[in-house]
Amino acid sequence: MGDIFGSRAEDPGTFSVPGSDRSFYLKLSAVAALMYLAPYDRYPVLWVYDRVPLLQNWENGYAFLCALGYALRTAVYAALAYWGMRRLALSPADIGWKRVPLRQLVLPFVAAALAAVFQFWFFEVAVDRRSDIVAQCGWWTKISFDLKPGLSLSDPMFLLNGVVWLFLGSFAEEVIHRGVLFGALRARLGPAAAILLTAAFFPLCHLYPFVDGGGIFLFETFFFGLVLGGLREWSGNLWIPLTAHWIYNALSAWTLLPWVF
C-alpha cells in the first residue's frame, strides 16, 4: 500500500502557534467569521443587477455578475489567507503549501470518486425517493442556484461560472480550511480536533446555495470535510485535499445537472 500511495509526509504540525489561548482563538475566530461572510456575494450581485438596466437587458448579465462575484470572492479568500497566516504566524509549509510526490495523487482520485458515489446515492435515494419525508421534517424544500433557469450547457456564461466555481472556489476554500485553519488548529489541539473542527466549519460557508431550506445537504458537506481533513493529515500536504476537492466538484456537477435542468 505504501508503494502505491507513498509514505506519509513529514509531520505538518510540529510548529507551535505563539500567544495565549485567548489571543489564538480570537484570531482564529476573526479568520472564520470573515470567511463565512464572503460567500454572501450573491446579495451585492442581486443589488447591482436590479439597479443596472444594461445588465438586465443583456441575457447573460446575471450570469456574468455571478462569475464576477465568484472571482472577487476568491480574491477575498486569498487576502484573508495571507492575513490569517500573518496573524497566526504560519509559514507556507505550515499550511501544507509544499511539493507533493506524484504517487500520492492516486489517493485523492480514489477518495473523491468514493465520496461522489456517496453523494449520488444521497441525491438519488435520500432526496429524490424520500423527498416527501425529508420535506416534512423541514430539512429540505429546494435548492436555490445562482444561475437563472434557461441557460444552455453550452452557454459561455454557464461554462465561465462552472470553471470559476470548480477551480477558483475549491482552491480558495482549501487554502482557508485545510490550510490556515487546519494548520493552526492542529498545532494547538492536535490532528483529530483539526479534522473534526475544520469539517464542522466547512458547511458554514456552503449555507448560501440552500437559503430556501437545504439544511440536509450540510450533513453531506460535513462528511466530505472529514474526508478532506483526513487527506490533509495523511499527506501533510494541501495539494492532496485540493485535488480531491477539484475532482469531487467535477463529479458533483455531473450529478447535480439533472436537478438543475
The predicted structure's pLDDT at residue 249? 80
Q: Is residue 2 part of a domain?
A: no
Q: Is residue 135 part of a domain?
A: yes
How confident is the model over 204-220, as pLDDT tens digits?
A: 776 654 544 455 667 77
Q: Is residue 144 part of a domain?
A: yes
What is the per-residue DSSP string for the chain?
-HHHH-PPPSPTT-S---S-HHHHHHHHHHHHHHHHHGGGGHHHHHHHHHH-HHHHHSTTHHHHHHHHHHHHHHHHHHHHHHHHHHHTT--TTTTT-S---GGGGHHHHHHHHHHHHHHHHIIIIIIIITHHHHHHTTS-S----SSPTT--TT-HHHHHHHHIIIIIIHHHHHIIIIIIIHHHHHHHH-HHHHHHHHHHHGGGGG-GGGTTT-THHHHHHHHHHHHHHHHHHHHS-THHHHHHHHHHHHHHHHHHHHHH-
How confident is the model over 20-63, as pLDDT tens digits?
A: 566 766 766 766 666 666 555 566 767 777 778 887 787 777 77
Of 76-85, 139-148, 235-244, the range with the lowest mean pLDDT is 139-148
How confident is the model over 164-184, as pLDDT tens digits?
A: 777 887 888 899 889 998 998
pLDDT category at 137 given cuts 50, 70, 90 is very low
Count: domains in the chain: 1
The predicted structure's pLDDT at residue 11? 46
The predicted structure's pLDDT at residue 107? 78
**Structural domain span for residue 61:** 17-260
Q: Is residue 6 part of a domain?
A: no
Q: Is residue 230 part of a domain?
A: yes
The predicted structure's pLDDT at residue 3? 36
Q: Is residue 12 part of a domain?
A: no
Q: Is residue 211 part of a domain?
A: yes
Average of per-residue pLDDT values in the chain:
71
Q: Is residue 185 part of a domain?
A: yes
The predicted structure's pLDDT at residue 55? 75
